[in-house]
Amino acid sequence: MSWLSGIMQDGIAYLYGLTGNYGLAIIFLTVIVRVVLFPFTVLQTRSTLKMQQLQPEIAAIQKKYKNEPDKLNKETMELWRKHKVNPLSGCLLLLAQFPFLIAFFQALDRYQPLKTATFLGWNLGRPDKIALPLLAAASTFLQVRVNTPAGAESSQSSMMFIFPILIGWMATRFAAALSLYWVVSNLCSIGERFIIPRMPVLKREAGHT
C-alpha cells in the first residue's frame, strides 16, 4: 500500500503546484482516482441495469410469495443467480475505493504542508466535527442509494445505513482532507450513475431502464 500512498502524495504536491490550493489539489486528485476506477464503475452500472430489467420478474415473485418470506428470498436469489447479477453491486464501488482512501490517509500523515492547509474555512489537517461529517454521511447514503438496483433495496437496507454512519463517524476522527476526498469521490460516483447509462456502449441496457 506504501507505493500507492507515495503516488497519492506526489499527486497532491504536483496538483498543488498547478492550483496553488491544497483543497483544489485534493478535488482534482479525487477526480483522477475516479478516472482510474471508471472501468469498474461501468461494469457495476451494467449490473445495475440488468437488475432493473429483471424488475418485472422480481415483482411477480414478490406477488406470488408475499406470504412466504423464505420462499420469496430463495426464488429471488435464484433469479439473480440465473442472470448472473449481483444484488450487492451498489456497495462494490465503495469497497473498491477503500485502498485509495487508506493510501490517501497514509499520504496525509506523511505530507506535512497539508496538515496546516485550509480550504473554505476548514483546516485540512484537523477533523471537522459537523459539516464535513454530515456531508460525508449524506453523500455516502446517496452514493449507495443511486447505485442500488431496483428490487434489491431490502437486501441492502442495512448497508445503506451502516456505511453512512461508519463514514460519518470516521469523518469526525480523521483530518478534514480525508473527508473532503471522500465527499468529492461520492459526488463523482453519483454523477457517473446518471451519465454512464447514456454512453453508446450501454445504450441498449439504458433503453430498458
pLDDT tens for 32-58 read 988 888 877 777 777 777 777 777 888
Per-residue burial over 24-44, b = 16 or more CB atoms within 10 Å of its CB, e = otherwise: ebbbbbbeebbeebeeebbeb
What number is the average pLDDT over the span 11-28? Answer: 93
pLDDT tens for 125-176 read 889 989 999 999 999 888 888 766 555 555 556 667 788 898 899 899 988 9
Supply 59's cell numbers. Answer: 415483482
pLDDT for residue 75: 82
Give yes or no for residue 208 having a pLDDT over 50: no
Dist CA 89 CA 28 (whole Å): 26
pLDDT tens for 72-113 read 888 888 887 887 776 666 566 667 777 877 888 888 777 888
Evaluate if pTM is beyond 0.85.
Answer: no
Give me the helix-helix angle, 89-110 and 176-195, nearest 10°.
150
